Every structure is written in C-alpha cells, then in structure tokens.
Chain A
C-alpha cells in the first residue's frame, strides 16, 4: 500500500511542477506562436537570487517572493530583448535570439557568480517528512501539489473570468482582430511574459527545493520538460500543457520505479523515445487547441 501512495504523490508532485512549467511556455506560444528558449533561465535567476539573499536576515518567504519577482522581471526583459525587436521578422529569428539570450544569461551567471554549484537557502519545512498510509512522504511534495492546485485555480480564474484573460485568449486565436477592437498588443504580450515568469518563479522554489543548489545550467532540464510536455499535450492548448505535464511525470516516474538499475541511467532516452512514439501517433499533440490564428 505504501508504495502506491508514494508513487501517486511522486507523480502528482512532479507532474505539478511539469504542468506549471509547460503552462508558462504555452501562454507565450499561444499568443505569439513563438518559442521562448530563455524560459529555463528564469529558474536559474530565481535560484541565484535566493543564493545572493542567503545571508540576509529576512524570513525565507520574503526571499522567495523576491526570487519569484526576479523571475517575472527577467521574463519581461526577455520580451524586450529577444522578442520585440524580431517578432515580426521570422519564427526562426526569435528562436535564435531567445537561445542567444539564454546563453547570455547563463554565461553571465558563470562570469559574475561562479561556475560551481551554490547552495540556496530553503525553509526547514522542505526537509520535513510526513507518514501517509505507511509511506514516508517528503512534506515538500505535498506542498508542491497544494501550491500547484492553488496556482492553477487562480490561473484558470484569470483566464476565464477577467477581461485580461479573455483578451489574452482572444489574442491567442486572432491577434490582429483583437488589436482592431482596441486591445493593446503590447499589454497582452507583456502580461503573457509576466504570467509565464510567475509560473516559472513558483516552480523554481520547489525545483530548488529538490536539488538544494543552483548552477548556471540548471534551467536546461525544466526547459526540456516544458518543451516536451507542451509538445505532447498540444501546443495550442492551455489544458493540453497541463495534461502533458502530468503525463510526462507519469512516464518518468514509472520508468524510475520500473527500470532495472543498469538501464536507469538511460531513463531520459527511454522517456523521449516514448514521447516520439506519442508524436508519431498524434503529431499535433493530444489536445487540439482552438482554430489556428494568424501569427502577429
């Protein structure tokens, strides 16, 4: 019994992080039809912010808020540096500028802080464990699930019930038409990046909670996760991103539990091979989004 509960919590907690991460990516992609390669670096920025605030007298929660804020600001900065100047030029151009921006951020961390791992301060509650049905579960995982559920609810509310959310969803299907109704393009886009940054910021707190330290390359894995979850879920659908995140978590966790030790190091290879099979079956992802809108 215990192992099932452990498995379930593992899938849900990892899936929560994956889902939030994917959502942040799709929010930008849905409106701009452009992929943000510098997205993973938002986790890096949050991590280094926590590290730099490490010695300060503030409570961890305050430091966490600042870290998330830094992620939001970096997200908005990505828009100004890598997207706005080349948005209208071509899809490839933006992919490359955001890739370049990602390299810029990573190497800046390398240069100005350190290539070596740096410990981040974490709240004591992250190391506590709790006993559920015979299994020892890290409290952190429960908190992850709760935080994600909360965030997803708030996000859903914003998207469905607020004018901004409506405007963003409208812009995602028909960007020019939205502008012709007086919806300011730049506001929509900046909001999308800000929300994307917020999601990544929250993810980073729990992601760092698992690892305990930050390196310049920390953003690669979450970026990859967001990419894959988005692609299997369907790139034009917010629900698809969330579904993709949980599905990916299911695959990874199952492999973690079932692969024999010699093959465990190839886990990622298996995961992505499975993903490629899913894509063979459904090239557009599992959930079809609204009808294609024109690119901005």
Chain B
C-alpha cells in the first residue's frame, strides 16, 4: 500500500534522512523505531506532505505522492498525528473532532457514525464533549488527536510517538486503542521510542539509525540482533 524508495530529507543544510526505503502492506501495523534524531518523525512528515523529499519517491497504492500537499493527502486517505499532538486548545473536544472530519463534512451521516464509533472507543472523550481541548490531560489529548485523525476515515494512519510524555499505564491504554483501530481495518505506521511496547503490537518493524534503515523484520527477528541494542534506546 505504501512504498518509500530511497528518500533523502533535509532541513536546510541538515540531512535528517539519508536513505530510507520501506513498505507497509494493507492492514499491517508497522513500527519505525530508533533513537532520537534517527529520522523517524521526518519520515512520517514526508509521507504526510509536510516535508518534501530531496530525492526518492513515496508511493501510495501505486501513485507517487511525494509532491502532494497535506490537504491532498487527507483526501487520499492519509491521516497524520504529529508528536506535538496539536489539539486546537481553545476549541472544544467536539469542535476538534468536527474539524477532523472537514474533508468529508458533507457526508453528515457517515461522519456521525464515525463520531459514535470514536466515542465507543474513547469513552473519556464522550464525557468531555464540550470541554476546551487545551484543558485536557496529556493522555486525554492523545486520545483526542487519534480520534480526530480517524474522523476523516483514513485508510493509512500515521502516529508519531503517541506515548511521549505519558505515564506507562496510560501508554498501555493508548496502545490497546491502537490495536482496536487496527482491527477495524486501518493500516497503521507507528513511530515509537518505546520499542518494547511497540513491538508487542506490531506486525513488522523497521529500525532507523542516523537517517538510514539499520534493520527490519518481525519482533522476534529484531530481538535476535544483539547489535541493535546499541543503536536504539528501548525500555
């Protein structure tokens, strides 16, 4: 479904990603692991259309999406949840969700169905519908941004470090929800620093180091590679 081929990403003169190639098949939950600065977030940003690759291609279902804008990508079923969470703080939970469905706002019935689905999956949000999003806790905000991304009914969900800054108990909850989402048919590309927990729920994994792919495979295959412990910080 998603094919990245030899991309190079830069911020000005700094190379964040030197050469990354990866594949995500429909229905999979794939993780991108690696230490800080390895290039994981940048890779997600390039898929989401925020960072254009200097070299290489990104294909979605065969179509080259490397030069598309974020708005165009949403219409093609890609939804991104950045590590900064980025709730709209002075808008309510409900209004945040409403904006998540912006790209298909005309289809009121389908949007409402998705909204109900999200409330079932994230009951905490259902209780706080009218609350300004800026007043939610970190864990609640994370749930909100995932639910908000799902409102556009994406086929590919990009999650950038959902566990960032959250207590382990909350992280477990979030990961449960991610699994539930995957089971409903969404393909997920997950970036995580928390390798152990991430590998428990993933089908396949890529380990990035200094802008390149250092390893790929199932959790078992990765665990066998003792050299990787020095490449990434896991817990």
Q: What are 5 of the A-B contact pairs (CB < 8 Å)?
A: A176-B70, A178-B99, A181-B79, A182-B74, A182-B75
With a CB–CB cut-off of 8 A, which chain A residues contact B103? 181-182
Q: Taking the complex as formed, is B134 at the interface, i.e. its CB lies under 8 A from any CB of chain A?
A: yes
Q: Taking the complex as formed, is A179 at the interface, i.e. its CB lies under 8 A from any CB of chain B?
A: yes
Q: With both chains docked as a complex, state the minimum distance between the C-beta of B17 and any C-beta of chain A, in angstroms.
A: 19
Checking B79, B86, B99 against A183 with a beta-carbon cut-off of 8 angstroms, the contacting residue is: B99
With a CB–CB cut-off of 8 A, which chain B residues contact A167? 99, 102
A225 to B86, CA, bound (A): 34
- B71 close to A184 (CB less than 8 A): yes
4 A-B pairs closest in CB distance: A182-B74, A182-B103, A177-B86, A179-B70
Checking A181, A185, A290 against B148 with a beta-carbon cut-off of 8 angstroms, the contacting residue is: A181
Closest residue of chain A to B90, judged by CB? A290
Q: A181-B148, A182-B74 are in contact. List 7 more A-B contacts (CB 8 A).
A: A163-B99, A166-B98, A180-B82, A182-B103, A182-B152, A183-B99, A185-B69
A184 to B149, CA, bound (A): 16
Please encode chain A, from 187 to 230, with 1 for each CB lying within 8 Å of some chain B CB and 0 for all others. 00000000000000000000000000000000000000000000
Interface residues of B in 147-174 (CB under 8 A from A): 148-149, 152
A291 to B134, CA, bound (A): 9
Residues A169 and B74 in contact in the complex (CB < 8 Å), given A163-B105, A181-B103: no
Q: With both chains docked as a complex, state the minimum distance between the C-beta of A42 and any C-beta of chain B, in angstroms.
A: 28
Q: Taking the complex as formed, is B178 at the interface, i.e. its CB lies under 8 A from any CB of chain A?
A: no
With a CB–CB cut-off of 8 A, which chain B residues contact A166? 91, 95, 98-99
Q: Taking the complex as formed, is A295 at the interface, i.e. its CB lies under 8 A from any CB of chain B?
A: no
- B50 close to A163 (CB less than 8 A): no
Q: Taking the complex as formed, is B37 at the interface, i.e. its CB lies under 8 A from any CB of chain A?
A: no
Q: Taking the complex as formed, is B48 at the interface, i.e. its CB lies under 8 A from any CB of chain A?
A: yes
Q: Taking the complex as formed, is B89 at the interface, i.e. its CB lies under 8 A from any CB of chain A?
A: yes
Total CB contacts across the A-B interface at under 8 A = 67
User: Which of A170, A173, A183, A185 counts the most chain B CB atoms within 10 A?
Assistant: A170
With a CB–CB cut-off of 8 A, which chain A residues contact B82? 177, 180
Number of contacting residues on B, CB 8 A?
Answer: 26
A177 to B91, CA, bound (A): 14
Q: With both chains docked as a complex, state the minimum distance between the C-beta of A84 and any C-beta of chain B, in angstroms.
A: 14
Residues of B whose CB lies within 8 Å of any CB of A are: 48, 50, 69-71, 74-75, 79-80, 82, 86, 88-91, 95, 98-100, 102-103, 105, 134, 148-149, 152
Checking B70, B75, B80, B90 against A173 with a beta-carbon cut-off of 8 angstroms, the contacting residue is: B90
User: Could you say which interface size class chain A belongs to?
Assistant: 10 to 19
Residues A179 and B71 in contact in the complex (CB < 8 Å), given A166-B91, A173-B89: yes
With a CB–CB cut-off of 8 A, which chain B residues contact A87? none
- A183 close to B71 (CB less than 8 A): yes
Q: Taking the complex as formed, is A174 at the interface, i.e. its CB lies under 8 A from any CB of chain B?
A: yes
Q: With both chains docked as a complex, state the minimum distance between the C-beta of A162 and any C-beta of chain B, in angstroms.
A: 11
- B102 close to A163 (CB less than 8 A): yes
- A163 close to B98 (CB less than 8 A): yes
Checking A180, A185, A290, A291 against B74 with a beta-carbon cut-off of 8 angstroms, the contacting residue is: A180
- A181 close to B152 (CB less than 8 A): yes
With a CB–CB cut-off of 8 A, which chain A residues contact B100? 181
With a CB–CB cut-off of 8 A, which chain A residues contact B98? 163, 166
With a CB–CB cut-off of 8 A, which chain A residues contact B105? 163
A166 to B75, CA, bound (A): 20
With a CB–CB cut-off of 8 A, which chain A residues contact B88? 169-170, 173-174, 177-178
With a CB–CB cut-off of 8 A, which chain B residues contact A173? 88-90
- A181 close to B90 (CB less than 8 A): no
Checking A169, A179, A180, A291 against B91 with a beta-carbon cut-off of 8 angstroms, the contacting residue is: A169
- B99 close to A180 (CB less than 8 A): no
